[in-house]
């Protein structure tokens, strides 16, 4: 029998005012979000999301996308130190990639798992220490919200209405209560917020 280790499951995602993580053009339509990604507030938020995490839990799409961007930032001495800090953490940390199609891991220190997100989280919580961070992988975050397995939400709220695109909070989720434990407002009106699950 396995016993939980007390690891928190956290998730980070950016949303528009109408609750969307992409625009009407599909998964690559990030026009309403991207201009807020490099603000002081966003970079401070980026540091907060990983400082207690020891495992990154990613969907296939983000794992492959991150691989094309973050390793170069980790070795770029001219990059913002907060970006470099996150990039180095992501390169060096344990990564679990959820996929039904990948046969080998796209990163070093990564493994591919073809299983429901809730089952993978249960396995991860039974061993190790430190937070388990789902960074920007909406399909994984949605599955964990549906299973009520998230302990913390890191949200960047971008002050735009996308008017179309995919929403994070679908109808049919179990009801839940959250408490605001941190917030920071940026010069462009973006808000970085941390919500902890009240159980």
Instruction: Say what the pLDDT of residue 19 is.
Output: 97
3 belongs to a structural domain:
no
Q: Is 13 helix (H, G, I), strand (E, B) or coil?
A: strand
Where residue 180 sits, what CATH number does that domain have? 3.40.430.10
The number of folded domains in the chain is: 1
| Domain carrying residue 156 | 9-198
Residue (of 16, 32, 8, 154) closest to 86 by Cα position: 154
Q: What would the mean pLDDT of 81-98 be, rounded to a whole number?
A: 95
Tens-digit pLDDT profile for residues 61-75? 888 888 889 999 999
The more confident residue out of 24 and 67 is 24
121 belongs to a structural domain:
yes
Tens-digit pLDDT profile for residues 175-196? 999 999 999 999 999 999 999 9
The bridge status of strand 110-113 relative to strand 131-135 is unpaired
User: Residue 1: pLDDT above 50?
Assistant: no
4 belongs to a structural domain:
no
2 belongs to a structural domain:
no
Tokens at 193, concatenated: 């917020």
User: Residue 104: pLDDT above 90?
Assistant: no
1 belongs to a structural domain:
no
CA 144, 149, 155, 160: dihedral to nearest 10 degrees? 40
Residue (of 84, 7, 94) closest to 46 by Cα position: 84
């Amino acid at each position: 029998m396995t016993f939980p280790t007390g690891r928190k499951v956290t998730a980070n995602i950016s949303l528009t005012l109408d609750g969307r993580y992409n625009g009407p053009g599909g998964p690559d339509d990030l026009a309403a979000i991207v201009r807020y990604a490099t603000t002081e507030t966003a970079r401070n938020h980026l540091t907060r999301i990983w400082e207690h995490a020891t495992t990154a839990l990613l969907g296939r799409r983000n794992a492959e996308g991150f691989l094309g961007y973050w390793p170069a930032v980790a070795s770029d001495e001219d990059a913002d130190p907060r970006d470099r800090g996150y990039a180095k953490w992501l390169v060096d940390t344990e990564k679990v990639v959820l996929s039904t199609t990948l046969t080998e891991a796209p990163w070093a220190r990564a493994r591919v798992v073809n299983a429901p997100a809730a089952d993978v989280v249960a396995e991860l919580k039974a061993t190790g220490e430190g937070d388990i961070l789902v960074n920007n992988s909406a399909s994984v975050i949605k599955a964990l919200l549906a299973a009520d397995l998230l302990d913390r939400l890191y949200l960047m709220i971008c002050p735009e209405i996308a008017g179309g695109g995919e929403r994070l909070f679908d109808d049919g989720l179990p009801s839940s209560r959250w408490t605001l434990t941190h917030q920071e407002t940026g010069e462009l009106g973006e808000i970085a917020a941390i919500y902890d699950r009240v159980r």
